[in-house]
């Protein structure tokens, strides 16, 4: 339930995962089915990541980020979830892992990064994929423009040439 000033309630969690914010596999499958497989935004995760640690469970490998995080499940936006730890789908954690590694290499510090921090805001999407074991795949959109180092690099590149096959229109 939202507070009286229409701001979402804040709920503290030990860690943020999609399942912990109400987006477990059956819920995501239902969203994908309802949307007829179209890519659909399901949540937003924002934060400041200061560290990361790889781990593994019977469900697979993951990266757990430390810092300060807030997540909003788009099915229930009346509650925002906060935590000092966050595990995201691989497509998002891979992006953040690269950004945090880049930030850590740019500063002089200890082996763990010595105070490097990355501010990010990701929108997580789900899209039907019959070849995926669960019937869907996750996608990601950065909600903060100008923070992605590749965005700056691509802005400096010349236009991509259009390649046409001979004899084809």
pLDDT tens digits along 75-92: 999 999 999 999 999 999
Q: Which residue has the higher pLDDT, 11 or 167?
A: 11
Q: How sure is the predictor about 105, in pLDDT bands with cuts at 50, 70 and 90?
A: low
165 lies in some domain = no
Question: 52: domain range?
Answer: 9-155
- Is residue 75 assigned to a domain? yes
Q: What is the pTM of this model?
A: 0.78
Confidence of residue 17 (pLDDT cuts 50, 70, 90): very high
Please state, in angstroms and rounded to a whole number, the distance separating the CA atoms of residues 146 and 150: 9
Q: Is the pLDDT of residue 128 over 90?
A: yes
Output the CA torsion sign for 48, 125, 76, 14.
Answer: negative
Q: To which residue do tokens 């990355």 refer?
A: 118
- The answer to whether position 42 is within a domain reads yes
How far is the C-alpha of 42 from the C-alpha of 126, rounded, in Å?
7
Which pLDDT band, with edges at 50, 70 and 90, does 60 fall under? confident
Residue 163 lies in a domain: no
Tally of domains within the chain: 1
Would the pLDDT of 58 be above 80?
A: yes
Question: Among 38-52, 74-88, 91-105, 155-169, which stretch is predicted with the lowest mean pLDDT?
Answer: 155-169
Query: Which residue's entry shows tokens 């430390």?
Result: 66
The pLDDT of residue 7 = 78
- Residue where the block lists tokens 């998002």: 92
How many angstroms separate the first and last alpha carbons of the chain?
56
Rg (CA), the chain: 19
53 located within any domain:
yes
Residue 119 lies in a domain: yes
* pLDDT: which is higher, 4 or 127: 127
- Would 137 be classed as within a structural domain? yes
- Judge whether residue 97 has pLDDT over 50: yes
Q: Does 66 have pLDDT greater than 50?
A: yes
Do the domain assignments include residue 161? no
Per-residue pLDDT band at 138 (split at 50, 70, 90): very high
């Amino acid at each position: 339930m939202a507070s009286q000033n229409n701001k979402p309630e804040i709920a503290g969690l030990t860690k943020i995962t999609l399942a912990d914010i109400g987006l477990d596999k059956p819920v995501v499958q239902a969203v994908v089915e309802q949307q007829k497989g179209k890519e659909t935004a399901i949540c937003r995760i924002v934060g400041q990541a200061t560290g990361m640690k790889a781990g593994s469970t019977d469900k697979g490998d993951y990266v757990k980020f430390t810092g300060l995080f807030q997540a909003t499940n788009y099915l229930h936006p009346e509650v925002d979830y906060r935590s000092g730890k966050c595990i995201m789908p691989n497509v998002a954690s891979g992006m953040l892992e690269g950004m945090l590694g880049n930030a850590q290499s740019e500063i002089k510090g200890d082996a763990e990064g010595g105070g490097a921090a990355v501010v990010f805001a990701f929108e997580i999407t789900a899209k039907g994929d019959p070849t995926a074991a669960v019937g869907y795949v996750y996608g990601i959109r950065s909600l903060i423009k100008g923070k992605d180092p590749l965005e700056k690099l691509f802005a400096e590149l010349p236009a991509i040439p259009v390649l046409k096959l001979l004899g084809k229109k």
